[in-house]
């Protein structure tokens, strides 16, 4: 994936498996957002631009690590690019906060590893995803990501 590949990391940000069944079962909004995220994850893994198009809000925008912005059209174009292969995508420390039954924030840490142009890349990110309920469906409105500095080697 072109120079936007690092932005795609936001696509994989919020891994529902790490969320835990107890949290989702105890709160219907958490369960709904988890399901929306599951759908998004599967579509992204399959490079399914059509499915992702249905999940994103019309005004979707990704804010990258150093403040650059990727709009919906550029993000979707990157989804279909199969030039990168995922090796690992593991989230941890995830919390979901929701407001007024139609807005949710998912906050966590993502460990990513992927192969691009015969080079393996690995990183850890802190993220926040914004989900909004529109016409009865949860839509992904905006992620923001920040690279975490690896611990110093001693």
Place of tokens 């759908």: 39
pTM above 0.85, yes or no: no
Q: Can you list the pairs that 134-141 forms with residues at least 24 positions away whose Cβ atoms lie under 8 Å?
A: 134/57, 134/102, 137/36, 138/32, 138/33, 138/35, 138/36, 138/104, 139/36, 139/55, 139/56, 139/57, 140/36, 140/40, 140/55, 140/56, 140/57, 140/60, 141/56, 141/57, 141/59, 141/60
Question: Closest Cα to residue 28, out of 109, 91, 96?
Answer: 96
Instruction: Report residue 39's pLDDT band, with 50, 70 and 90 as the boundaries.
Output: confident
Answer yes or no: is pLDDT of 16 > 50: no
Distance of alpha carbon 62 from the chain centroid: 10
Q: Is residue 75 within 8 Å of residue 91, measured between CB atoms?
A: no
Write down all domains in the chain, each with its CATH number in brackets: 5-147 (3.10.450.50)
**Cα three-residue angle 122-124-130, rounded to 5 degrees:** 125
Answer yes or no: is pLDDT of 62 > 60: yes
**Average pLDDT taken over every residue of the chain:** 81
Average pLDDT of span 120-137: 93
Which residue did the predictor score with more confidence, 37 or 130? Answer: 130
């Amino acid at each position: 994936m072109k120079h936007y590949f690092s932005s795609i990391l936001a696509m994989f940000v919020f891994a529902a498996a790490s969320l835990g069944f107890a949290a989702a079962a105890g709160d219907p909004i958490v369960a709904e957002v988890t399901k929306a995220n599951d759908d998004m994850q599967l579509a992204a893994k399959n490079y399914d631009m059509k499915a992702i198009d249905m999940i994103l809000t019309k005004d979707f925008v990704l804010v990258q690590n150093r403040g650059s912005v990727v709009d919906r059209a550029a993000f979707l174009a990157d989804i279909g690019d199969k030039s990168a292969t995922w090796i690992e995508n593991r989230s941890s420390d995830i919390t979901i906060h929701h407001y007024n039954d139609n807005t949710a924030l998912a906050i966590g840490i993502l460990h990513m590893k992927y192969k691009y142009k015969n080079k393996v890349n690995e990183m850890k990110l802190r993220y926040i995803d914004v989900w909004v309920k529109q016409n009865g469906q949860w839509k992904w409105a905006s992620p923001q990501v920040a690279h975490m500095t690896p611990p110093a080697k001693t």
